[in-house]
Amino acid sequence: MHLLKWLYPGMRFKRWLFLFAVGVMLVSLGLAVIFNYKYLDNIEELIFRTVYLWTGNYNYMYTTMVGAGVVLLGVVTMLVAMRFIIRSVITVILPDNSDRLVDIIYEKRKLGKGPSVTVVGGGHGLSVLLRGIKEATTNVTAVVTVAGVGAT
């Protein structure tokens, strides 16, 4: 599944995903403080009354199930929103290759961690060597010697 590639080591994505989750929790906590629990109490009382009228008794498991449902709905909403945000950014950056962005990022990160190579040379062989090295690492320095064949 290509969505799991976003969690590969070295992608620098997991920390932002965690930070997004922390932000959602802080917003939720802030909204609960703003509403002073008055409105939350009203919602909980509505759940109590509905369950009592429906079943004739009350069990706190129903409140837990409603809360878990709201959390699940929030998580699904966040995932859908995040998917569309990423997709909109991808279509701007890579309009024709939008499905391969994760592969491109992974390849760039992998090549960036490759060995540092310095090549000294000149002529036709150097260009062939550099074309081959660029598939193993992006940390390449080429020192090209220029020798002029001069007419004296």
Angle, alpha carbons 70-27-78 (nearest 5°): 50
Q: Clarify whether residues 15 and 57 are in a common domain.
A: yes
**What pLDDT, on a 0 to 100 scale, did the predictor assign at position 111?**
78
* Residue 37 predicted with pLDDT over 70: no
Q: Clarify whether residues 75 and 126 are in a common domain.
A: no
**What pLDDT, on a 0 to 100 scale, did the predictor assign at position 99?**
59
CA-based nearest residue to 23, from 69, 93, 78: 78
**Domain membership flag for residue 50:** yes
Q: Clarify whether residues 21 and 96 are in a common domain.
A: yes
Residues linked to residue 140 through DSSP beta bridges, in sequence order: 117
- The encoded tokens of residue 98 equal 């939008």
- The encoded tokens of residue 7 equal 């969690």
β pairing state of 117-121 and 140-144: parallel
DSSP secondary structure string for all residues of 129-145: HHHHHTTT-S-EEEEE-
**Please, are residues 120 and 128 in contact by the beta-carbon 8 Å criterion?**
no
Q: Clarify whether residues 76 and 92 are in a common domain.
A: yes
**Please, are residues 12 and 110 in contact by the beta-carbon 8 Å criterion?**
no
Question: How does pLDDT run across 68-125, given as a tens digit for each residue?
Answer: 787 778 777 877 777 777 776 676 677 665 557 777 777 777 877 888 888 888 777 8
Mean pLDDT, range 23-42, rounded to an integer: 74
Q: Clarify whether residues 75 and 11 are in a common domain.
A: yes
Mean pLDDT, range 57-72, rounded to an integer: 77
* Residue 133 predicted with pLDDT over 80: yes
**Domain membership flag for residue 103:** yes
**Domain membership flag for residue 151:** no
**Domain membership flag for residue 48:** yes
- The encoded tokens of residue 59 equal 């069990």
**Domain membership flag for residue 150:** no
Domain that holds residue 136: 114-144
**Domain membership flag for residue 149:** no
* Average pLDDT over all residues of the chain: 76
**Domain membership flag for residue 75:** yes
Q: What percent of the chain has pLDDT over 70?
A: 80
The pLDDT confidence band at residue 20, using thresholds 50, 70 and 90, is confident
More confident site: 150 or 114: 114
Q: Clarify whether residues 101 and 119 are in a common domain.
A: no
Q: How many CB atoms lie within 10 A of CB 73?
A: 10
**Domain count across the chain:** 2
Q: What pTM was estimated for this model as a whole?
A: 0.48
Q: Clarify whether residues 8 and 73 are in a common domain.
A: yes
Give the up-direction half-sphere exposure of residue 50: CA atoms within 13 A in the CB hemisphere: 9
